[in-house]
A and B are shown apart, each in its own frame.
Chain A
Amino acid sequence: MDQLIAFVPALPIVSAVLTQLFSAQLKRRVAWLSVTATALTFVLTVVVFGMELFGYGSHQFGDLRGWGILLSDPLSAIMSVLIAGISLVVHVYSIRYMAEESGYGRFFVLLDLMTATLLVLVAAGDLITLMVAWHAIGVLLYFLLGHDTRRQSTFRYAFWTFITYRLGDVALILAAAVLFHAYGTWSLTEIFARIQSHPHVISFMGIPATEAAAIFLALAAFARSAQFFLHIWLPYTMDGPTPVSALMHAGIVNAGGFLVNRFAPVFVQAGDVLHWLFIVGLVTAITGSVLMLTQNDIKKSLGYSTMGQMGFMIMECGVGAFSLAVFHLIAHGLFKGTLFLSAGGVIGQARQDDGIPKDDLYTFVVEKRPARRRPPWLLMAAITLAVPILVLGLTHWLVSREIFQQQGAIILLFFGWVTGAQLIFATYRIRTQRIARLFFLVLSSFTVVVIGYTLISHAFNLFLYPDEAFRALIYKASNINVVWFDVLIALTALVIVVGWLGTYYGERNGRKRGRQSGRAWISLYALISREFYLADIYAWLSRVILRSAERLNVWFRWV
């Protein structure tokens, strides 16, 4: 088992070296070398995951003078399967997609190195190995995104990614420095054990070391997972090859959620930092989703969709649903990877044919004949509000009753509630004649999704955090004062109820918008479509820095 852990990242490294050495002789066939190695790596990760699943216990491998440790635990096992799986798909896709590009061999070398680095990152058992992998990912991504060396624009946007990632590197290094200074070891296992035995004993600059480290770790996660203010690089990296976009959106950008889970023992001692995670995640989720809706470029729209999802993932961490964040990042990785890899094909096909079959479903959804009479809006509003909460509540009650004791879980239920309500409202707006049939179909789908989601997330929780006391501790860390929580929940519920009632009323009776509010909407739309001018602000800032550097050089005569 111990050796297997080392083989997992070693295989793609060997493949990278061989691909580089034989790319001149094998030409385009060299890709198969890389693909075979990735397939083998995937098989190995599945074996390691299986062993972890069937209780062979956690292991670690290697110790290079206090660092260079690779760890196999539930988190690393499941993340490795995801990385190797997505990497394999991307490798296979790239065989033909990159065939016309120059630097074919180099692309596969970089892809292999990226796979290896990601695998090292998730298996890192000490702070130095973690920092090395974290840093190296940014560097490799820079060269993958800038694969086309002829275009300056590609490198300009790759640089945005690189420098944002470097900001995250710096934060991680400071976190590592605080932890090492406080606990005197690089080993993550030992640090976590010492934190458990002396949670608040050691302080750093007057605050507990765990809290200081958690702040830096959160910043590192924000930079890597494109949280608001550090997100601009994400939608602008579409100039890179599509397989790289898929790998980035499906795997690399999720590293923030992984980091929070890896340092869960640190975060449970830093409840205030978790609250900040929630706030930043929430703002990112909303901003990302709003920005996505205003884009007319499919890839940029997908970029902002990723930003929204990352916000949601960080927010889940903020409410203590750590394992749910891992489930989310896996689910998001799979669907976003699929979307990216098929985006080009879809655009190509859409130019030839709209691709919509003229069957019963098409007639039902698209060529609908609006119903003359609609159900009473008040009744529909009541159903919209009641049905999702019933489905969600019942499902969670059946799977795990103690979930209702957790504040974080209740907050997430609210999001499920709003999503379900939105689904029913969309059904109502279709104005079909056969509303009962459509409603039944929609409700069934919603129920299946909720049951599946609840069961899987519960299983994830048990798998990633088998210790019941620790699970409770995570949720407890994110709790706020009960009275405040109840007040906030009541207010939010009121806003949701009044909001939906208003929406149904407006839908039924028609909305009249004055000239003033119309202008305000257009201004808001302009602001959002220009992405809050953040890219312009950053570009201006970097110009200011470069101009200052130049002025200093002139003053000091270039020596």
Chain B
Amino acid sequence: MTKSVLILAGLFLPLFPLSMLFNILFTRLRNPVLRSVLLLAWPQIGIAIVLGNSHAIPHWLVVWAVLSSLLYALRALALRDVGLWIGFISTSAWSLLWILADTGAGSEQLKLYALGISIPLVLMSILAAGLERRFGAAYLGLYGGLAKSLPRFSGVLVVVVLAVIATPLFPGFFSMLSMIMKSIPTMPTVAVAVAIVWLLWSWAGAKLLQGLIVGPGEQAATDISRAGVWFFVIILVALVIAGMYWLGAVV
């Protein structure tokens, strides 16, 4: 792998400190559509670069990727801005794709794994935009109590956060499972590190929910429409089915 390819790949399948560029870009973009495009396209470009390179991925690069993932998962614990939270979790999740690339996952599989990780993040960024529209900011602990004030919105938020933190049966679950399964024979420490990353995501997800949905909920705001709920439900159900069908088979 040449230096320029490595830098490019490390930018799109984020390796620290190259990962900072994505996060700067993501926080600067406020438009949810642009954010969604970025979330969907960024890892796909990285995968294309990695797959276009015929050389084997060196072992140290996988270790670096896992350490980057650990770093961002840990840092996500202390975040209160939902936008940053999405950026950090994306960075943490996409870095792990190096493991799958290293263990010989096919091109289609890798793209599906990346998509399975990105789509819940896109949904999350749409919800974050919804919060900004209603309260002026998507920020933990600022208002809280969404379960009371916006019951439908918080219901959707809970399920989307669960999808982001790779809860079964969402695609992220199968991606994480696949990473652990594939790395345990040759790199057991990497498998354990991936498991710790997963644990940190759960912690970060629980903190996010606690900061948003729990509380007396005294702010008046318009809840999401029933059609809006159905939009999210359909996508989430499709994600579960697709995850079980495609990713569940290749674990």
Contact = CB atoms under 8 A, between A and B. Distances in A.
Interface of A: 64-67, 102-103, 128, 131-132, 135-136, 139, 142-143, 146, 149-152, 154-156, 159, 162-163, 166-167, 170, 173-174, 177-178, 180-181, 205, 545-546, 548-550, 552-553, 556, 558-559
B198 interface: yes
B106 interface: no
Given A150-B216, A150-B217, A556 B168 contact: no
Contacts of B23: 559
7 contacts: A143-B158, A159-B210, A162-B206, A177-B180, A178-B184, A552-B71, A556-B75
Contacts of A167: 199
Contact of A545 (B74, B198, B206, B216): B74
Contact of A150 (B27, B75, B77, B215): B215
B177 interface: yes
Nearest to B209: A155
A162 B77 CA distance: 15
Interface in B206-226: 206, 210, 213-217
B100 to A, nearest CB: 15
B168 A131 contact: yes
B114 interface: no
Interface stretch (B30-38, B46-54, B118-126, B188-196): B188-196
B199 A545 contact: no
B84 A136 contact: no
Interface stretch (B1-9, B55-63, B132-140, B243-251): B243-251
Interface residues of B, number: 49
A142 B206 contact: yes
A149 B147 CA distance: 7
A166 B177 contact: no
B64 interface: no
A155 B24 CA distance: 33
B214 A149 contact: yes
B242 interface: no
B217 A181 contact: no
A167 B180 CA distance: 15
A550 B78 contact: yes
Most chain B beta-carbon neighbours within 10 Å: one of A66, A149, A205: A149
Q: Is the interface of B mostly helix, strand, loop or mixed?
A: helix
Contacts of A152: 210, 214-215
B117 interface: no
B105 interface: no
Contact of B214 (A128, A155, A548): A155
Interface in B152-205: 158, 162, 167-169, 173, 177, 180-181, 184-185, 188, 191-192, 195-196, 198-199, 202-203
A400 B251 CA distance: 47
Q: Is the interface of A mostly helix, strand, loop or mixed?
A: helix
Given A136-B168, A159-B206, A128 B216 contact: no
Nearest to B16: A556
A67 B178 CA distance: 14
B20 interface: yes
B74 A552 contact: yes
B206 A163 contact: yes
A553 B251 CA distance: 34
A173 B177 contact: yes
Contacts of A136: 167-168
A70 to B, nearest CB: 15
Nearest to B167: A139
B10 interface: no
B181 A181 contact: yes
A337 B132 CA distance: 45
Given A65-B248, A149-B148, A180 B213 contact: no
A131 B177 contact: yes
A136 B84 CA distance: 27
B248 A181 contact: no
Contacts of B76: 549
A166 B244 contact: no
Nearest to B251: A128
B167 A135 contact: yes
A540 to B, nearest CB: 16
A177 B181 contact: yes
Contacts of A173: 177, 180, 195
B180 A174 contact: yes
Contacts of A146: 214
Contacts of B251: 128
B43 interface: no
Given A163-B203, A174-B192, A174-B195, A549 B214 contact: no
A131 B177 CA distance: 10
A128 B17 CA distance: 35
Contact of B169 (A132, A142, A180, A546): A132
Nearest to A551: B78
Contacts of B20: 556, 559
Contacts of B148: 102, 149-150
A216 B199 CA distance: 16
Contacts of B74: 545, 548-549, 552
B116 interface: no
B45 interface: no
A441 B74 CA distance: 61
Given A136-B167, A163-B203, A177 B78 contact: no
Contact of B198 (A128, A162, A170, A550): A170
A550 B149 CA distance: 30
Contact of B210 (A64, A155, A166): A155
Given A128-B177, A136-B167, A174-B180, A546 B77 contact: yes
A180 B198 CA distance: 20
A180 B181 contact: yes
